[in-house]
Structure 1
């Protein structure tokens, strides 16, 4: 079962002792696992207690480290790779299974009550997003444990990473609306509600599991959008890969996550050989596009080595050869500089601002839905629960300026008279 939720500090506040968390992602095949592993090795060898986690179902982290790394059955089980460096592979069955059993038993009861075949019911109750939920809960456990100075997360390719990072807010949004209503039904009118619906109502144990997940997700969301966490994008200097990296930068910003650097991997050393010279020219053009696209974000380059960097010594050598090409990479211990969602007063009106780099006004669709603002950028959507001051306002206009979405709200005089 999940451990009890404890708040050593006020909810929504990141403890000063929280570890530095770096999530590494990129298009499949660009070398993100090797990059994450090299970063973790370097961190450990500079004296930091470091954990490198794999949330990618392919789990090639063990291959990169040169160790046998199996999916961990529990949160606590990590593998010692070298002094101050541990590794862990997280899967759908890591720790979350016991709690999911409570929900699954309830769903099976519901499906049986409406006549669904038991075999079909078994298939229907497979937990959607189990890998993502397990990864987040495991990360939250390690972040709160006090055992680590740095946690490096080898994430799945970009689409899966976006689902992973959107989950805390999305799941929280739904659970915040589900739990109060369900608890009222349980305490006031459960028998009548069950009879009216024709299906059994969830008992307290089911809602307790959901509430525990909700509390953990809130803490994880707070950590990952704090100055202790960032995302590092790995790419190669190829047009298709660069285009996807540009899209993920926008999507990460939409959800409030900071990108602290991009790593251009597999840069071929300059050579007089005609074949390599052709690649040098193509890669130079790609690197120029990258530095222009990610202006303001440090750009690192890692060489295309003569052999595959496998094992801690080879990874350490790769980290040593990874250099900063553009900008200045802050020390790993330094706070992450990020400017997420904010609201400022402008006379009698208010302006909601959200960074959306590489975006134009025509790329954004907005919709107001009760107390929420729905922002859609290229099919990636975020539902923003509006702060109370904006719930009494209407959207006056919106646009993107200098890579930032600005939504202007005007007061509704009937509910907020002028002068108040």
Structure 2
């Protein structure tokens, strides 16, 4: 897939669907072929455009197409075959048939299939850009973590080498029906390949996430945690959009003007607290509900002005970097931890970083595998973990 992939997410009710639709409309108006798809169960993308949308791609305007993915329909179609193969594996391992049926109803399968459908749609059209209206933040974080998590579990259960898988399955079943187990191995291999392709897509330079918030302290705190969680997954955040800013009342007087001035000052203070995340794009609150292409293009004009809607505004820098400090080494993780709960554990050749309950294994460079952890510090640039050469391993 050569198209640019831009994912919009944010706390429920902040207006991410409207801004995703407005961005896609602006891209199409600027001459790019744009596809906007929604994985949000709320099904509000069609409402934003003022047209009915379904699972099939439909044309909204010249150069602009849209679709509303229905994960439940995907489960009925795409998951049925693989569930049958998994039941075969579990039954061969001695799991009761009823239990096997329950175990194949995997949590998150709907979200995973929705993401796979985004990838399929993106690769089947002439799109320059694919804009994705994701669900609320918590659901999106689970969605984006699924390919890596399930891929890791699958690799542990069924190793990559096809002959190993085939021999394992045949041994579990005690069966001489090679064809049956061969089909199961092929199905699991296709699943593993699909998961790896999804993970590669999400962490590629062509993919980024744009976070939408309303300028409130609670929402801003969630946004900062989301930046950290995505960074730990290796997924790039290219910018933050603040929606529904109270307009400046100017020199107007009266109770309403005083309220607006006070509220806007509070909102500006919240935005200032996010300065380390880069430049925040802003959209002022409008009296009318933005429905239909003209209203969405007006939103986009206020949001992007003369700049390219695809231009990122986030602070740039490598997620992981290693520097030498005297006789020690520092592994720097550019994640905004803030007041989050942080835990570090050395697990073999990996460093397990847990922030607010979300865990990520960071593969240590070969240099640091021969070192021991001696401390960690937080500063404005992120987390720095200090390593000291282990005398027992250093000369190996």
Measured against the shorter chain, the TM-score band is: 0.7 to 0.9
Match of 1:177 in 2: 156
212, 229, 236: which is aligned to 2:190?
A: 212
The 5 A counterparts of 1:50-199 are: 50-70=34-54, 72=55, 77-93=56-72, 98-109=77-88, 110=90, 114-117=95-98, 122-145=101-124, 147-180=126-159, 183=162, 185-188=164-167, 190-194=169-173
Pairing 1:24–2:24 present: no
The 5 A counterparts of 1:210-289 are: 210-271=188-249, 272=252, 274-275=255-256, 277-289=258-270
Q: 1:116 to 1:78 in 2, by over 3 A?
A: same
Structure 2 gap segments, 5+ residues each: 175-179
Match of 1:7 in 2: none
Say whether the 8 Å CA contact 1:268–1:276 is kept in structure 2.
Answer: no
CA distance in 2, matches of 1:79, 1:355: 40
CA distance in 2, matches of 1:295, 1:334: 14
Say whether the 8 Å CA contact 1:55–1:131 is kept in structure 2.
Answer: no
Match of 2:350 in 1: 372
User: What is the CA-CA distance between 1:226 and the residue it aligns to?
Assistant: 3.2
User: What is the CA-CA distance between 1:184 and the residue it aligns to?
Assistant: 5.5
Say whether the 8 Å CA contact 2:239–2:312 is kept in structure 1.
Answer: no
More displaced, 25-34 or 206-215?
206-215
Give the number of equivalent residue pairs. 388
For residue 322 of structure 1, give the secondary structure of its aligned residue in structure 2: helix
Deviations 1:78-114 (A, max 9, x none): 1111111111122324656555223311344436954
CA distance in 2, matches of 1:354, 1:329: 30
- The CA RMSD measured in Å over matched residues stands at 3.3
Match of 1:11 in 2: none
CA distance in 1, matches of 2:166, 2:154: 18
Say whether the 8 Å CA contact 2:248–2:264 is kept in structure 1.
Answer: no
TM-score normalised by the chain length of structure 2: 0.85
For residue 53 of structure 1, give the secondary structure of its aligned residue in structure 2: strand
User: What is the CA-CA distance between 1:235 and the residue it aligns to?
Assistant: 1.3
Q: 1:334 to 1:251 in 2, by over 3 A?
A: closer
Match of 1:312 in 2: 293
CA distance in 2, matches of 1:411, 1:149: 48
More displaced, 207-216 or 313-322?
207-216
User: What is the CA-CA distance between 1:403 and the residue it aligns to?
Assistant: 3.2
User: What is the CA-CA distance between 1:287 and the residue it aligns to?
Assistant: 2.4
